[in-house]
Amino acid sequence: MTTLHEKPTASFTLDLEPIGLRLTAAADLTILQVVQQAGVQINAVCGGEGWCGKCRIQHMEGDLTAITDTEAEALTAHDMAQGMRLACQTSLRSDARLYLPPDSLTTAQRLQIEGEDGHIEIDPLITWFDLSLTPPTVHDLRSDATRLQDALAELGCVGAEIHFPLLTRLSNDLRENDWRIRAVVRQTREVIALLPQHTPVYGLAVDIGTTKIAGYLVDLESGDILARTGITNPQIPYGEDVVSRIQFANENTEGADILQQRLVDGVNNLISQLCQQINATPAQIVDCVFVGNTAIHHLFLGIPAAQLAQAPYVASLNEAIERRCNDMGLSAAISAYLYMPPNIAGFVGGDHSAMLLATDIVRRAVQEQQTIVAVDIGTNTEISLVHAGRLLSCSCASGPAFEGAHITHGMRAMPGAIEHVFIDQHQPAVQTIDGAAPIGICGSGILDAVAELSRIGVIDPNGQLRADVPGVTSTGTRNRQYLLVPAEQSGNGTDIIITRKDINEIQLAKGAIRAGVEVLLRECGISEQAIDRFVVAGAFGTYLDLQSAVQIGMFPPLPLERFEQVGNAAGVGAKYLLLSQNKRVHVNDILKQVEYVELTAHPEFSDIYVDALLFPENQP
């Protein structure tokens, strides 16, 4: 109890990205203390004294205490200009939003990067030759460039050009390697790298998602993935969704440059991690493929994206594009190229093109005379339908709820996050990632929780929590909540609850996806029962429980055997585009068939969407 002479301690709301956790923080506690009390394991080797500099946070919104002398010593001027602080030296002075860099966390977020891989004929744009050149003499005064070109011409690469940055290093490279080199040639027309003989060369395939980036280092000869890793998209501090990021780019003079540089820095970090896994260097990466939605595509390449956020949502560029990696500051062989496949239309980008390529649904539908729906679930969800020779695609803003964002105790997938929920006789049981004590709930967990509450009748068709049901407490109709994990069983001493607002976030997301599917079905004049195969792609799609998705009405009520979960198909498609010239031709052929449907302009979309928000009727 507070006496008349005591002032109550102020408290503020703290949003932590990229883990998507919302906390209440007392003003007299450091951010390190607040985060640790919440069960998040953050690096603090010095025990909060400040000298190790490991507990870095990035200030995004809100007021913090002033920078201390300890921080000024531990952080560079560049760090502080970027909003970096030390959690152990900083407290809140208002509601705030902070970003926890990956290096500050001792437990990594689970980033799904696997995908179902198939067999393709390997036919890369890149070839390489191990050459032993004859050194110049007084009787052979050919230039170093001509000497290299003549040797390649004898092997069929007639007139191969040498990119100027490589030319500036040519003489030194030849002599340092005693004239024994591996020349890497692109399409027999251009020398893009010179390495010591027999040095392995690799390709890089990257799927840049709104929330996550998945990268793969690929053997260009065998097609095997030699290293893989995932990181959180470093643009998240500037907006959880692409529209927010486009807005940041428009409203800030250097906004677009900042967003592009954050992506480049993030990709270079990913490349470093991949190379470390197999003891390689970025100079051995001689070809790259990047896929992403249209907004990510534009922001990554530095192309204006403002028009994407306004009707009629037109891209600056839909065609496939190639650029030098070096021109963008990417870590790779000095003359290597990056390729990005064509976008489709609106926000449906090259990542969906890659997914269509990897899942091969167009060919399958024709050969097997089937109707196939493919849904690539993310913050921005893309949907395709193949029926009777037609290929229709659309995009819907499903939002970040499936990443745990905007959920009361939501967080992204990391140890301690509830990933599955089952409620038996109103007694909830939860499963957490790595079996850790629960500290919050990630996307698959909140989906399960809402599905279970719907199944046992705790929520009505409109998403309202019913009164007088075990587990539901109330301070009024709008403030009802369901107790999922009591404080004494959680990992942070806090009740983990599901609120009406949480349910509404899932309603909006599932409604958008179901409405997108329904619009495409109506465009073809068929019902959901005509669907023979329902392909679920994307990181979240790997972990969701299909029965839960059907229970809440996110997916049509089909037999579960009709569903197919394929993981990160966009990443697999990026690998195919890396390994095969034919696939680059084929992806263009696929896109010529696409009929793009803009949902916001569809006359029936609003009514379909309203209906899709409802949950099935079940009695408690």
Q: Render 520-585 in DSSP notation, one character per residue.
A: HHHHHT--GGG-SEEEEESHHHHHS-HHHHHHTTSS-S--GGGEEEEE-HHHHHHHHHHHBHHHHH
The span from the CA of 496 to the CA of 331, in Å, is: 43
> What is the CA angle 126-132-137, rounded to 5?
130
What's the chain's Rg over C-alpha atoms?
27
Q: Could you tell me which of 424, 100, 53 has the C-alpha nearest to residue 232?
A: 100
In the chain, what percentage of residues exceed pLDDT 70? Answer: 95
Exposed (0-12), middle (13-18) or buried (19+): which is 146, by Cβ within 10 Å?
exposed
Q: In this structure, what token pair is assigned to residue 439?
A: 């500290």
Look at residue 240 and tell me whether its pLDDT is greater than 80. no
The span from the CA of 18 to the CA of 25, in Å, is: 18
- pLDDT at position 102 is 67
More confidently predicted of 469 and 453: 453
Per residue in 261-298, pLDDT tens?
999 999 999 999 999 999 999 999 999 999 999 999 99
Q: Greatest CA span in the chain, whole angstroms?
A: 101
Q: Could you tell me which of 184, 214, 217, 224 has the C-alpha nearest to residue 203?
A: 217
- pLDDT band at 51; cut points 50, 70, 90: confident
Q: Residue 480: what are its φ and ψ, rounded to 5°?
A: -70, 150
The span from the CA of 387 to the CA of 533, in Å, is: 11
- pLDDT at position 5 is 44
The pairing of strands 417-424 and 533-537 is unpaired
Contact 215, 275 (CB under 8 A): no
pTM reported for the whole predicted model: 0.82
Q: Could you tell me which of 58, 406, 83, 351 has the C-alpha nearest to residue 212?
A: 351
Average pLDDT over residues 1-15: 62
In this structure, how many other beta carbons lie within 10 angstroms of the beta carbon of residue 456?
18
More confidently predicted of 341 and 49: 341
- pLDDT at position 246 is 93
Instruction: Output b/e per residue, 317-338; b: 16+ Cβ within 10 A.
Output: ebebbebbbbebebbbbbbbbb
Q: Residues with Cβ < 8 Å from 617, sequence gap 6 or more?
A: 460, 461
- pLDDT at position 116 is 56
The span from the CA of 138 to the CA of 170, in Å, is: 20
Contact 31, 57 (CB under 8 A): yes
